[in-house]
Structure 1
Amino acid sequence: MKTLLHSLLLFTAPFFTAQTATPEQIISDLPELEITEGINLHMISPEPIQYVDLSTDKLTGDLPASSIARIKITDNPVSEKDKKKQSISFFSGDTVGIITVVGQSFIAQYKVVYRSQDNLNTITNIHIQPEAMQPIEFDKMSFSNRELRQFALDIIQNKADKKPVRTENNLNLRMQLNNVYVMADYIFLDMNFKNTSNLSYDLEALKFSIEDKKIHKATNNQSIEMTPVFQLNPQKHFRKNFRNIYVFKKFTYPNSKVMMIRLIEEQLSGRTIEMKVNYSDILKADTF
């Protein structure tokens, strides 16, 4: 297991200036976590983890997933002669260190307490709860995945009953840009896909790119791929209808270019459909 915290995450964590509206915290007020030698403690965050700090070298860990921190007592290779001596290096109830987890919109801190291996009630994973989170306000306007998800849910709860911004039909497929929304520095694309054939659709990719509106020579075409920072539904298969919200950080492009959206099916199918979105469509975005 890779070590983090004093070597990796401490130096790769983003540098930021944050303000909190919460009072100071002292060690005695921190919630406690129990940890035992030879057992990993998994801390599950409701949003991607930006930074983790372990206050002592008695603890080590890594990030096996963007929203999970895996912590354990540091392994110290010792000889058979020293094993008995090491076994009493911690006493039940000793404070081993402080764990600090920083998400996109919060900071949470825990006091880690040692429990002997005889304790069968030692926890192996916890979900970071709202009561343990202190909100963080970053200088730049930025939303957490949790907030983006809520905005997307607000959009998708509204029926797409107004005239769509763009529509394309091909091979019994219909791709529709229902609307474009903007919130702070984020652009939300509300999209709908309809399959009128009896063959279900296995989606390989939905690709977004900025490309030249007019291509005089194929070799001169410049394509810039764009990746959503968030999508509401990761679904890869639909039978008849599929609606999703795709979120991008604010972008601009000149009138000589268009946003190209390509729906591509898996395997050797030729069922691919494309849509061109002019920048004027983005400029007409609604707010919510």
Structure 2
Amino acid sequence: MKILLYSLLLCTAQFLTAQTATKEQIISDLPEIEITEGINLHIISPEPIQYVDLSTQKLTGDLPTTNIARIKITDNPDINQKEKIIKPVVFSSRDTVGIITVVGQSFIAQYKAIYRNSENLNTVTNIHIQPENMQPIELDKMVFSNLELRKFAMDIIRKKSEEHPIREKENLQLSMQINNVYVMSDYIFLDMTFKNNSNLSYDIEDLKFSIEDKKIYKATNNQSIEMIPIFQLNPQKHFRKNFRNIYVFKKFTFPNSKVMMIRLIEEQLSGRTIEMKVNYSDILKADTF
């Protein structure tokens, strides 16, 4: 009976390992992407790119934005250092130019770059990294990628929680409210709505978060600690009537002698600024989801 039970447990463990193990990549199995001389290939990632590796000097590239890798065939000819002879690199159709590796926050994707003649008008200029080409990277479970944070934020947006805000402030026909506070692992999500009751649209210069003293006797004694969200769902800088957004912070604490100050500042010359104080008790009441 013990032998049977042990065999059953062993088989189960082997099955689970097979289901969760990351498949090894073989060059011949890599997805192919075509690249042409004189034309940049843009690889678009669903989350910020952490690292790009090009396996050969025949390829060169950069990161014009956090989510896009720009790759091209190197313009410089191959120089024979010993004989000081310049020999242009010549490719034939379907030659392998090199291997492109893109590492995101939670995945690694690899492609085989195949040469395509520039006379072909169907040259690909950009590709999106597809889920089937991503291999997961084992990360600390407490760390979420921007893609995961966006999913959580979208789940919050789908909740209709604007009617009973936990804190609200009005000034100059503007209102700023915290609909709710959520916590997920070591992350705090602020669900906020801004309303403009005037006929003038609002151009956001900045939205500042800081931890400050509750009682400020002298401006020089005020110790203000700026807090920068690690993620926000919508980077919008302009709204006419209503604007709802989710701001994500790594877990923080502050004593009862301090408050979290939120300031919405319009572009210069308008003077329409609104600020709100948030007590730590509001953060402690955060919901989970």
Q: Same fold (TM over 0.5)?
A: yes
CA pair 76-240 structure 1, distance change in 2 beyond 3 A? closer
Q: Which amino acid aligns with 1:217?
A: K
What CA distance in whole angstroms lies between the structure 2 residues aligned with 1:213 and 1:244?
26
CA pair 179-119 structure 1, distance change in 2 beyond 3 A? same
Instruction: Kindly tell me the number of residue pairs found equivalent between the two proteins.
Output: 266
Partner of 2:38: 38
Does the Cα contact within 8 Å between 2:255 and 2:280 map onto a contact in 1? yes
What CA distance in whole angstroms lies between the structure 1 residues aligned with 2:288 and 2:166?
15
Partner of 1:70: 70
SS at match of 2:156: helix
Partner of 1:60: 60
| Residues 128-179 of structure 1: per-residue CA shift (max 9 Å, x gap) | 1111111222125222222211111111111125632211111121111111
SS at match of 2:88: helix
Structure 1: any 5+ residue segments left out of the alignment? 1-19
1:121 aligns with 2:122: yes
Larger deviation, residues 138-147 vs 207-216: 138-147
The structural deviation recorded for 1:253 is 1.5
CA pair 249-21 structure 1, distance change in 2 beyond 3 A? farther
| Residues 44-79 of structure 1: per-residue CA shift (max 9 Å, x gap) | 111110111111122111001101101111222479
Q: Who wins on radius of gyration, i.e. which is larger? A: 2
Does the Cα contact within 8 Å between 2:77 and 2:88 map onto a contact in 1? no
Structure 2: any 5+ residue segments left out of the alignment? 1-19, 80-84
The structural deviation recorded for 1:272 is 0.9
What CA distance in whole angstroms lies between the structure 2 residues aligned with 1:258 and 1:21?
47
Q: Which amino acid aligns with 1:59?
A: L
Partner of 1:224: 225
Partner of 2:159: 158
What CA distance in whole angstroms lies between the structure 2 residues aligned with 1:224 and 1:21?
44
What CA distance in whole angstroms lies between the structure 2 residues aligned with 1:214 and 1:114?
67
| Residues 103-146 of structure 1: per-residue CA shift (max 9 Å, x gap) | 11211000111223333332111111111111222125222222
SS at match of 2:47: coil
| Residues 62-102 of structure 1: per-residue CA shift (max 9 Å, x gap) | 001101101111222479xx78x5253x2222212111101
Partner of 1:101: 102
CA pair 109-271 structure 1, distance change in 2 beyond 3 A? same
The structural deviation recorded for 1:239 is 2.2
Does the Cα contact within 8 Å between 2:204 and 2:264 map onto a contact in 1? yes
Partner of 1:244: 245
Partner of 1:86: 88
The TM-score normalised by the length of structure 1 is 0.86
What CA distance in whole angstroms lies between the structure 2 residues aligned with 1:41 and 1:240?
40
Partner of 1:213: 214
Does the Cα contact within 8 Å between 1:21 and 1:135 map onto a contact in 2? no
Partner of 1:49: 49
Partner of 1:170: 171
Partner of 1:268: 269
What CA distance in whole angstroms lies between the structure 1 residues aligned with 2:196 and 2:125?
45
Q: Which amino acid aligns with 2:37?
A: E
What CA distance in whole angstroms lies between the structure 2 residues aligned with 1:149 and 1:204?
23
Partner of 2:196: 195
Q: Which amino acid aligns with 1:261?
A: I
Does the Cα contact within 8 Å between 2:191 and 2:247 map onto a contact in 1? yes
The structural deviation recorded for 1:262 is 0.3
What CA distance in whole angstroms lies between the structure 1 residues aligned with 2:162 and 2:39?
54
SS at match of 1:150: helix
Partner of 2:259: 258
CA pair 162-201 structure 1, distance change in 2 beyond 3 A? closer
CA pair 241-158 structure 1, distance change in 2 beyond 3 A? same
